[in-house]
Chains A and B, each alone.
Chain A
Amino acid sequence: MSVLGNTALSFSEEQAMLLDVAREFCRDKSPIALVRAQLDTANGFDQALWGDMVALGWAGIALPESCGGSGLGVAALVPVVEAMGRAMLGTPLISSALAGQLLLRAGDTGQVERLLPAIAAGDPATVALLENGDWGDGGVGLVLDEECVLRGGKKFVPDAAVASLFVVSVTYRGAAALAVVRAEQLAAGAVHPNTLIDQTKRSANVDFSGVRVDDNNVISGPGVATALRDIRLLGALLVAAEATGSAAACLDTMVDYLKTRKQFGKLIGSYQALKHPTVDILTATDSARSFIYHAATLVGDGALDSDAEIACRMAKAHACQTLLYAGDRAVQFHGGMGFTYDCDAQLYIRRAQWSQQQFGDAQHHRKRLATLLLD
């Protein structure tokens, strides 16, 4: 078999329509001034704006029609999330979508039909997966005991402060399982917000100790491990899509500056020392876009196959490196201005580093790609 492997890339009419709508919506509703206005707020997003997104159907876009969704799959989320990344628009869309996918992929019909409609209707949900900073740590220390009581907590739970529902990875009777926890079940003070490098994002450490999970909210069985693996890959893909959008916006910001700023009597964009790295960022962003839509082409509603896994890992590894490079150079090329909080370059470099640390960094994915491609 060729290591070049699968190079499928298709783009449906639905995706095209969504991309157009999302691009326009995000441009109109999320100008940088409004993004900045949310940097210091508790939840990091405007509730009315989230309402608009829900009204557009985005919260349920990838969920089945029987649950109030659009049934378009994760492939339809990619253009939406890319557009959001371009506008640096936060909101719990990604965490909610991942919670929905995890339930859809691991839950039984009853659970799916009972839990997904609220998510599709815009009630935010999230996934609680990590207990330390190691994305390669497959172990789950959080135990669900025989009485269905949780003992322990999770770290870096995205959008925990606004989530109505937590899908929590646990160990139950010695095997991987999921516990679905309603926000009102949490003890007072159980949510400890993280101070994040990216001020457009929110996450928290959540202590689930003492929560008694409803009997019908425990998901166990052999499908859970696969769903947990897949959700990390889908998380990687969505963060990659978002990072790709942000890289394009960062590039635009840089190019605008290079076309207007003069030094030594010349527009600085005429200097090849700045010009050529900017072209590198363009071509890297081009590749990032190709990778995310390649992965979107290969991920379906079922368990991800190895081609889809390879594509998601490549997308994440490449897109986040690209955004880091773009953000890093955007700061540098803005000179003294780039060193200030007022310069938008800071938004991108902060987003870049945040994205890199989600769902495994580039090295994490390349290490796994080596096994997938070379062994």
Chain B
Amino acid sequence: MSASEQELKAFRAEVAAWMKANNPTDPGFLLPQTFMEVGDERQLEFLRQWQHKVWAAGYLGMAWPQQYGGGGVDAVFQNIADQEMRRAGVPICFNVIGLGWAGPLINDIGTQQEKAKYLKGILNAEDVWCQGFSEPEHGSDLGNAQTRAVRDGDEYVINGQKIWTTMGNFAKYMILLARTNPEAPRKYDGLSYFLSPMHVPGIETRPIRKITGEYGFTETFFTDARIPADCLMGAEGQGWKIAMQTLQYERGAEAGAAGGQSMVRVTVDDMISQLDGVQRDGESVLRDPVVRDQLVQAIMEERALALGDRRAHIQHLTTDYPGSLPLSHKLRATEMTRRMRQLAINLQGGEGALYVGDDEARQGGFWQRAYFNSFSATIGGGTSQVQANIVAEHVLGLPK
């Protein structure tokens, strides 16, 4: 049953009005632009309350089943709600690993018990989720993960270490990739997938101080940590397959996310607006011919990416190197973001040297912090260099 145009229009107006009326006032501290920037309890509590409020209003998890806290309506409604959240510039729905990755996965392949146990807590923000994939020695080479899980009666005993655990210190659950069979002929076949509790003896997290000076990630240590055997998702040996499915959600290639914006979108527009009042050679920086050319190139890059997303849906215009547009998207988008944020600082003149904490820093040091944080995207989820290899090998067919 599809909703009528009129119904959708009315819904859009309703969400817009709600967002406008409920958009929180400035809390007086910098809010995270992405879920990877939740550094302290203050930010966490603020975002938890906000997400709970969005969910309670019915604008989150709209397409998830009603019995598990969702709205049970067509995904088109959630898309509209997401668009209106972006438009209104409200804070992010921060529980992204639950909302965007673990949740859709549980919805798609989880058991009744798993759905009943986990889904609602993801939506109402009571249960923060984190991800245990990357290891210190195996960043981009996920298939080589060495954290061990050994079955012992009704439990698995976990030993090893994960790193870059986003919100690891706040999380109640983790999607965990661990090796149950080190003897498997293919390294991938030795991996299993767990929906693991975090608050058990033997699991410790240590916050990592980021390049920005803030927090957001942890190292996670497992020392004879015992978790119930029913935390295993699927069967032993299916870990790689389920992890790959998770990455599909992560990369947005698979539908099913609960919705809510996961990061504040920053565009070239925002970069140009922040230059308001900045002078160069005694006149507006926007009059400087060299700067103008740089801005035009940034605008073109942003438009090219948006056009590529459109062209990717035109089958006839994608036959040359199939997969090129989707496979290179992460590489292009993250590199563009990094360069654009750096340029934004460059154009601030002397103020560009100021940082978060200085009263005179432009927009509180937003761009300085954003530039540093943007490396999380050019490094995390496969570095740009690995992404370039993937595109070269899978799209162009170049040798390893």
Binding site for B on A (CB under 8 A): 2-5, 7, 9-11, 15-16, 19-20, 248, 255, 258-259, 266-267, 269-270, 272, 275-276, 278-279, 282-283, 286-287, 289-291, 293-294, 314, 317-318, 363, 366-367, 369-370, 373-374
Chain B 380-400, CB-CB to A under 8 Å as 1, else 0, gives 000001001101100111111
B397 and A255 contact, CB distance less than 8 A: yes
Q: Provided the pairs A3-B272, A258-B398, A374-B295 are in contact, do residues A290 and B310 lie with their beta carbons within 8 angstroms?
A: yes
Q: Which residue of B lies closest to A2 (CB)?
A: B269
What residue of chain A has the Cβ atom nearest to residue B321's Cβ? Answer: A282
Chain B contact residues, majority secondary structure: helix
| Residues of B286-316 whose CB lies within 8 A of A | 286, 289, 292-293, 295-297, 299-300, 302-308, 310-311, 314, 316
- Interchain CB contact (< 8 A) of B267 among A2, A20, A370: A2
The answer to whether B299 and A3 touch across the interface, beta carbons within 8 angstroms, is yes
A-B contact pairs, 17 of them (CB 8 A): A4-B299, A4-B306, A5-B303, A9-B311, A259-B399, A272-B389, A276-B388, A279-B396, A282-B324, A282-B328, A283-B328, A286-B328, A294-B307, A314-B300, A314-B303, A366-B296, A369-B296
- Which residue of chain A has the shortest Cβ distance to B305 in the bound complex? A287
Is there an interface contact between A279 and B295, defined as CB atoms closer than 8 Å? no
* A286 and B392 within 8 A (CB): no
Among A19, A248, A366, residue most surrounded by chain B Cβ atoms (within 10 Å) = A366
A189 to B300: give the CA distance in the assembly, Å: 45
Q: Does B176 contact A (CB under 8 A)?
A: no
- The answer to whether B296 touches A11 (Cβ under 8 A) is no
B332 at the interface (CB under 8 A from A): yes
A19 touches B316 (CB 8 A): yes
> Shortest Cβ distance from A272 into chain B, in angstroms?
7
Are A287 and B307 CB-contacts (below 8 A) given A276-B385, A366-B296, A370-B293?
yes
Please state if A286 and B316 are interface contacts (CB–CB under 8 Å). no
By beta carbon, the residue of chain A nearest B310 is: A9
Among residues of B, the one whose C-beta sits closest to the C-beta of A252 is B320
CB < 8 Å neighbour of B331 from A5, A9, A283: A283
Contact B389 A275 (CB under 8 A): yes
**Docked pose: A370 CA to B288 CA in angstroms:** 10
User: Within 8 Å of chain A (Cβ to Cβ): is B317?
Assistant: yes
A9:B272 contact, CB within 8 angstroms? no
Shortest beta-carbon distance from A303 to chain B in Å: 23
Report the minimal beta-carbon distance from A211 to chain B, rounded to whole angstroms: 41
Q: Per a CB cutoff under 8 Å, which of A3, A270, A282, A363 touches B391?
A: A282
- B317 to A11, Cβ gap below 8 A? yes
Q: Select one of A279, A287, A318 contacting B392, CB under 8 A.
A: A279
Bound state CA distance, A266 and B399, in angstroms? 9
Point out the residues of chain A lying under 8 angstroms from B307, CB to CB.
7, 9, 287, 290-291, 294
Residues on A with beta carbons closer than 8 Å to the beta carbon of B268 = 3-4
Residues of B within 8 A of A279 (CB): 328, 331, 388, 391-392, 396
Cβ of B325 under 8 Å from chain A: yes
Q: Which residues of A contact B324 (CB under 8 A)?
A: 282-283, 286
Q: Mark B316-351, 1 if CB is under 8 A from A, else 0.
A: 110011001100100110000000000000000000
- A248: chain B residues at CB < 8 Å are 320
